[in-house]
Chains A and B, each alone.
Chain A
């Protein structure tokens, strides 16, 4: 059970890493912008070259709230190393290199590679599954996008975009509706639909922070699985440092130290 929980914790963090956004240009809502231009900006802003941060994952459901603290380092969208610092999981680490995930258990001095079949499960009994974050973050290669409108979503002017998968059998959520902030071109909200076009999950960015001139990151992200009543998962990040992280951080040696 412990093994799975850590697997779950790790992957939710990977998702968060993908959501850390870099913004090159502040912009006012521009209805003349093409859908391609909006998605280009969004995709360009998905990943930092290197991140060092502290944070937590809170899962709130009918049984209460559980919070797990962690530290993470990432490089691009392919590399991340997460260490859990809460008492129950202290010292356990997760390394992600492209589509491989390695787990380190300090008590047994053991490294276990996470199997892809585990990706179907809920992460930390939360509202997020491994499949939600599997695959690369290239929207335009996998979806046909349609700009529906520019609207105020949760008090923020956003581009409302509808995505339908080119091959709906390959995608976990073949139909998606996303809101992209018009000022920062960061993800603001999303609705994820099943193959039968039933709403399955919602995602809401509740806070972004400016780390330097024209650079932002998502500091609070809330997931909700509509099948789970009264359940939300909040990922909160703090003490974020944007800088290059050496490649050898994402190795077995680093995992074992």
Chain B
């Protein structure tokens, strides 16, 4: 028993040392590039969300005493540092996120250096190393063309500001062919996160080796049609995902994407390699209209087809005044058998500041779940950037 305790303490000390070493490394990594720039820009993002009220009505009693815990609040503080020269630019962002379910999460959400390499007199090659976002395909919620981060959103919490706030460590090369045709290749590098347990306050590292892979895309414009095709291969899980994405700049902006994941992984029990295919199709449109003298309406429905089922997401904003509007978001997730609806007013008193109050209702009717219930919560959300 004593030995176990010693090992645990040793492991904690090792984690702390590793954590501190990485903090020092990251600090150096963050600041060194900025010594190159005469002008450095800084900004701070603050986001607070809290539930004002919560109710849950159980739809069927399975006899299990399962205490459902939904997202009832979170806080995020992010500090961004960026600098740019003629041939080099750099950005770093450190974010501290706190949620009741995960605890405190310290994450380097951006840390990259991008450089421009002139090719002749006409074109510049771009090279980038570090942690950054990358969007392949198109879609705010569902995007089958996003073979790097996945077709589904990072969060299904409808009160979220950005559903696809993804980033990963990468080495990226941007190769222009003409002004509007290009090739882009990327190598994904494993990430490491540090999470502090909310009860024990122990900092634990966790590595995401799934992102280890490589991909390539080709983007072109043919007349009024924009299209791209490419693919990403994951080395660890032996998966290859080619995709094609098309955007039609019609009267209403319309976009579609499809991808197929070929899974070459080996079955652990039979030690046999068997190929599995999963095809996804997503599409959406963006409709914007002026309403009255100072109002506007934005409607963005999106669909995704997966495993013979369609999922539907709707994002709608109606601003009847410049600073005041109503937001409606709905998600019909037939695959997960969860249906969610968000409705509430949003106030934008000044640039960079948003205050929202949302009623969020989610209905879970999943057959396998012990948690078939209607959950309703009233949320207050604030975002400020300065």
Q: Which residues of A contact B (CB under 8 A)?
A: 1, 3-4, 61, 63-64, 66, 68, 86-91, 97, 106-110, 112-113, 115-118, 120-122, 125, 129, 225, 227-228, 231, 247-248, 250-254, 256-257
Inter-chain contacts of A227 with B (CB < 8 A): 293
Given A1-B298, A120-B289, A251 and B135 contact (CB-CB distance below 8 Å): no
Contact A109 B132 (CB under 8 A): yes
Provide the B240-275 mask, 1 if CB < 8 A to any CB of A, else 0. 000000010111110000000000000000000000
| Residue in B251, B287, B294, B349 with the greatest tally of chain A CB atoms within 10 Å | B294
Contact B126 A257 (CB under 8 A): yes
- Give the shortest distance, in Å, between A7 (CB) and chain B (any CB): 9
- Give the shortest distance, in Å, between B48 (CB) and chain A (any CB): 17
Contact B114 A257 (CB under 8 A): yes
At the interface with chain A, which of B315-323, B336-344, B364-372?
A: B315-323
Contact A109 B298 (CB under 8 A): no
- Give the residues from 125 to 152 in chain B that come closer than 8 angstroms, CB to CB, to chain A: 126, 132-135, 138
Counting CB contacts under 8 A, is B43 at the interface?
yes
Residue in B174, B247, B287, B296 whose beta carbon sits within 8 Å of that of A122 in the complex: B296
Counting CB contacts under 8 A, is B385 at the interface?
yes
Chain A residue at smallest Cβ distance from B252: A117
27 contacts between A and B (CB under 8 A): A4-B288, A4-B296, A66-B350, A87-B352, A90-B43, A106-B91, A108-B164, A115-B252, A115-B253, A115-B286, A116-B249, A117-B287, A118-B288, A120-B289, A121-B296, A122-B290, A122-B294, A125-B296, A227-B293, A231-B294, A248-B124, A251-B180, A252-B182, A253-B123, A254-B124, A256-B126, A256-B174
The 6 closest A-B pairs by CB, nearest first: A88-B352, A251-B179, A110-B135, A115-B253, A125-B322, A253-B176
Contact A87 B182 (CB under 8 A): no
Residue in A86, A108, A257 whose beta carbon sits within 8 Å of that of B135 in the complex: A108
Given A87-B43, A109-B134, A117 and B253 contact (CB-CB distance below 8 Å): yes
Chain B residue at smallest Cβ distance from A251: B179
Counting CB contacts under 8 A, is B155 at the interface?
no
Counting CB contacts under 8 A, is B76 at the interface?
no
Majority secondary structure of chain A interface residues (helix, strand, loop or mixed): mixed
In the bound complex, what is the Cα–Cα distance between A117 and B82 (angstroms)?
34
Inter-chain contacts of A257 with B (CB < 8 A): 89, 114, 116, 124, 126
In the bound complex, what is the Cα–Cα distance between A164 and B308 (angstroms)?
58
Contact A117 B288 (CB under 8 A): yes
Inter-chain contacts of B226 with A (CB < 8 A): 113
Residue in B124, B135, B319, B385 whose beta carbon sits within 8 Å of that of A1 in the complex: B319
Counting CB contacts under 8 A, is B122 at the interface?
yes
Counting CB contacts under 8 A, is B9 at the interface?
no
Inter-chain contacts of A109 with B (CB < 8 A): 132-135
Inter-chain contacts of B66 with A (CB < 8 A): none
- Give the shortest distance, in Å, between B180 (CB) and chain A (any CB): 6
In the bound complex, what is the Cα–Cα distance between A86 and B317 (angstroms)?
24
Contact B322 A117 (CB under 8 A): no
| Residue in A87, A122, A247 with the greatest tally of chain B CB atoms within 10 Å | A87
Counting CB contacts under 8 A, is B25 at the interface?
no
Counting CB contacts under 8 A, is B67 at the interface?
no
Contact B289 A61 (CB under 8 A): no
Contact B135 A90 (CB under 8 A): no
Inter-chain contacts of A89 with B (CB < 8 A): 351
Counting CB contacts under 8 A, is B68 at the interface?
no
Contact B296 A252 (CB under 8 A): no
Counting CB contacts under 8 A, is B41 at the interface?
yes
Inter-chain contacts of A3 with B (CB < 8 A): 286
- Give the shortest distance, in Å, between B159 (CB) and chain A (any CB): 15
| Residue in A115, A125, A247 with the greatest tally of chain B CB atoms within 10 Å | A115
Inter-chain contacts of B89 with A (CB < 8 A): 257
| Residue in A97, A107, A118, A247 with the greatest tally of chain B CB atoms within 10 Å | A107
In the bound complex, what is the Cα–Cα distance between A26 and B96 (angstroms)?
61
Given A1-B317, A115-B249, A125-B294, A108 and B116 contact (CB-CB distance below 8 Å): no
Chain A residue at smallest Cβ distance from B86: A257
Contact A87 B385 (CB under 8 A): yes
- Give the shortest distance, in Å, between B85 (CB) and chain A (any CB): 11
In the bound complex, what is the Cα–Cα distance between A122 and B294 (angstroms)?
8
In the bound complex, what is the Cα–Cα distance between A61 and B293 (angstroms)?
12
Contact B179 A248 (CB under 8 A): yes
Contact A63 B296 (CB under 8 A): no
In the bound complex, what is the Cα–Cα distance between A116 and B290 (angstroms)?
14
- Give the residues from 145 to 187 in chain B that come closer than 8 angstroms, CB to CB, to chain A: 162, 164-165, 174, 176, 179-180, 182
In the bound complex, what is the Cα–Cα distance between A109 and B180 (angstroms)?
16
In the bound complex, what is the Cα–Cα distance between A180 and B47 (angstroms)?
50
- Give the shortest distance, in Å, between A105 (CB) and chain B (any CB): 8
- Give the residues from 103 to 122 in chain B that come closer than 8 angstroms, CB to CB, to chain A: 114, 116, 122
Chain A residue at smallest Cβ distance from B286: A115
Chain A residue at smallest Cβ distance from B116: A257
In the bound complex, what is the Cα–Cα distance between A89 and B134 (angstroms)?
19
Inter-chain contacts of B349 with A (CB < 8 A): 63
In the bound complex, what is the Cα–Cα distance between A125 and B350 (angstroms)?
13
Residue in A90, A115, A252, A253 whose beta carbon sits within 8 Å of that of B41 in the complex: A90
Contact A68 B123 (CB under 8 A): no
In the bound complex, what is the Cα–Cα distance between A54 and B386 (angstroms)?
21
Chain A residue at smallest Cβ distance from B250: A115
In the bound complex, what is the Cα–Cα distance between A115 and B126 (angstroms)?
28
- Give the shortest distance, in Å, between A64 (CB) and chain B (any CB): 7
Residue in B162, B179, B247 whose beta carbon sits within 8 Å of that of A250 in the complex: B179
Contact B317 A87 (CB under 8 A): no
Contact B123 A248 (CB under 8 A): yes
In the bound complex, what is the Cα–Cα distance between A112 and B323 (angstroms)?
25
